């Protein structure tokens, strides 16, 4: 079935925030632990909420204080060249809109941060609906954020989405949490290959598997 609802993750999918996220975690680890962590270990946390990562990597640390430190570092460096829209993304979004498709974003980022980045990159108004961590109580790989986003796009209740609507939807992301979210929602998924290393064995161990894999944004047009 042709796709009508195109739902993206944000970090590492539309915008390269990978380096700023890694730098922010390294600064936070150095401050609270006095050491840095392997990059692959940090990449494995991509898609998690800050609270979850802190509970695992900094057990016993004052969570709100750590979040404030992490976000302050990221905010003070977000205007550097370290953060940018991936090549081909703006063209892809324009192409999807030209086809009359509905575009959503389901992200674990805060609404404030998401809106700031969209404004920074001149992408305001390019997506129809967005669901951030502020809009849900359960986070990826739980399907809540994807279901809520699809409900906003389709007009159906999030807890009663018709199978036809689910079949017309696809989730595009860069982490096992995105793919797991789509799997748990019963929606097709696309794992992108332009972002960072993804341990697919680890993904499989969690019981998650993408429907498709693409290495360039324009390849999504062939799928939909």
CB atoms within 10 A of CB 81: 6
The predicted pLDDT at position 96 comes to 97
| pTM for the model | 0.92
The predicted pLDDT at position 48 comes to 87
CA torsion through residues 58, 63, 64, 65, sign? negative
CATH code assigned to 5-16+83-223: 3.40.50.1000
The predicted pLDDT at position 79 comes to 73
Q: Domain 18-77: which CATH class?
A: mainly alpha
The residue extents of the domains of the chain are 5-16+83-223, 18-77
| Among the listed residues 223, 143, 210, 128, the one whose alpha carbon sits nearest the alpha carbon of residue 174 | 210
Give bridge partners of residue 213 from the DSSP assignment.
Answer: 191
Written as one string, the DSSP assignment of 6-40 is EEE--BTTTEE-HHHHHHHHHHHHHHHHSS---HH
The predicted pLDDT at position 112 comes to 92
Ranges of residues in the chain with a pLDDT under 50 are none
Average pLDDT, the chain: 95
The predicted pLDDT at position 149 comes to 98
The predicted pLDDT at position 166 comes to 98
The predicted pLDDT at position 208 comes to 97
- Report H helices in 144-199: 144-154, 163-167, 176-185
The predicted pLDDT at position 75 comes to 87
Give bridge partners of residue 90 from the DSSP assignment.
Answer: none
The predicted pLDDT at position 174 comes to 96
């Amino acid at each position: 079935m042709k796709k009508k609802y195109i739902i993206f993750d944000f970090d590492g999918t539309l915008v390269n925030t990978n380096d700023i996220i890694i730098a922010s975690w390294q600064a936070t680890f150095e401050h609270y632990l006095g050491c840095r962590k392997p990059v692959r270990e940090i990449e494995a946390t991509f898609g998690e909420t800050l609270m979850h990562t802190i509970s695992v990597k900094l057990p016993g640390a004052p969570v709100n204080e750590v979040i404030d430190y992490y976000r302050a570092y990221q905010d003070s460096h977000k205007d550097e060249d370290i953060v940018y829209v991936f090549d081909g993304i703006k063209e892809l979004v324009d192409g999807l809109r030209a086809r009359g498709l509905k575009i959503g974003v389901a992200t674990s980022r805060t609404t404030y941060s998401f809106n700031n980045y969209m404004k920074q990159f001149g992408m305001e108004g390019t997506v129809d609906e967005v669901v951030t961590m502020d809009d849900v109580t359960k986070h990826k790989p739980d399907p809540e954020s994807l279901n809520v986003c699809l409900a906003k796009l389709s007009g159906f209740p999030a807890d009663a989405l018709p199978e036809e609507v689910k079949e017309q939807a696809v989730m595009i992301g860069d982490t096992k949490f995105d793919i797991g979210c789509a799997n748990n929602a019963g929606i097709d998924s696309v794992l992108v290959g332009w972002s960072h290393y993804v341990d697919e064995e680890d993904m499989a161990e969690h019981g998650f598997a993408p429907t498709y894999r693409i290495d360039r944004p324009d390849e999504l047009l062939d799928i939909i």
